[in-house]
Amino acid sequence: MDSRGWRTVIINSVCKLSYKNGYLQVKSDMISTIHLSEIGVLIIESTRVTLTTILLAELSRRKIKVIFCDEKHNPYGELMPYNDRHDSAKMIWQQISWETEIKEIIADLIICQKIKNQSQLLEKYKLYEGAEKLKGYLLEYVANDETNREGHAAKVYFNELFGSDFSRDIMCSINAKLNYGYTILLSLINREVVANGCLTQVGIKHRNQYNPYNFSCDIIEPWRVIVDEYVYTNKDSGFDSKCKYELVNLVNKKVLLDREFFLSNAVSISTKSIVDALNSKDPKILKLYNYYEL
């Protein structure tokens, strides 16, 4: 697996984007070019950007993640290819046939890793009381999370990080930052799910009929702590363009997954391991992100 990073390109002003000889061409008052091989993620933040269809097709063919923002500059949608591998039909049939038992085992391992990562983040910032509570929830965890340890852990975790009055349901800059960062992470995972021939809609624990990203929402859980840490250490700053850039740039953060990778590469490896574990019914081959390795 290639461990190099790619550029995240953000377009936030009036311009025309086109394709020419392997390059993204950005035309405004002047013309700038970036070779597509250097781009991992392209974010269209302005609604005043025009694009050519050949560029969209080439971005899709090269598996470059494209995220479109709304008039408030918040991520709203993304470009995804219909098929990303020649055997996608076979892979989708396998996904639909995953047995309940292995799905529940994998889902439990993912959620337990999420809670473990949360406790380790609290411990790192000397929030020891909350960290110990989360460790206790892990010890109490039962199959299929019948006692909702995940929900209890989340309440303790966010209250420790952002105060007892904080809720994920309120409108505030902290939630805006969290949501923005999670969306960037989710878009990376969507790309990897499709690259592995699977449907983002068909999850193993998330099964909301209105959620087009159920499987990606399963996979994202251990990775959320990366966004959480950034928001915690920048909780008093505004949700401005600088903050958005830094949240987007987390994809170039270096993390450990057996060895050091850029985050985007680590997400790719972990996602493939989850799909492989479900197909082979072997949870031992899972590679889940462990925050403590930072």
107 and 40 in a common domain: no
103 and 190 in a common domain: yes
Which tens digit of pLDDT belongs to each residue from 79-113?
Answer: 877 666 677 788 889 999 999 999 999 999 999 99
In a domain, 2, yes or no: no
Counting the structural domains of the chain, the total is 2
Confidence (pLDDT) at 85: 66
95 and 39 in a common domain: no
Look at residues 21, 49, 79 and tell me which one is the last residue of a structural domain: 79
33 and 155 in a common domain: no
Which tens digit of pLDDT belongs to each residue from 148-206?
Answer: 999 999 999 999 999 999 999 999 999 999 999 999 999 999 989 988 989 999 999 99
Q: Is the pLDDT of residue 4 over 70?
A: no
Considering only CA atoms, give the Rg of the chain.
Answer: 20
101 and 66 in a common domain: no
Closest C-alpha to 216, from 182, 184, 250, 193: 193
Give the confidence band of 1 by pLDDT, cuts at 50, 70, 90: very low
157 and 68 in a common domain: no
Look at residues 79, 109, 130 and tell me which one is the last residue of a structural domain: 79
Question: Where are the extended beta strands (E) located within 21-130?
Answer: 23-27, 31-35, 39-44, 49-51, 65-69, 75-79
Domain that holds residue 146: 88-293
In a domain, 1, yes or no: no
Which is more confident, 283 or 293? 283
pTM: 0.86
User: Average per-residue pLDDT in the chain?
Assistant: 91
Within 8 A by CB and 6+ apart from 163, the residues are none
Percent of the chain with pLDDT over 90: 72
Give the confidence band of 3 by pLDDT, cuts at 50, 70, 90: very low
237 and 186 in a common domain: yes
In a domain, 24, yes or no: yes
Distance CA 232, CA 210 (A): 30
Distance CA 278, CA 284 (A): 11
Residue type, 102: I
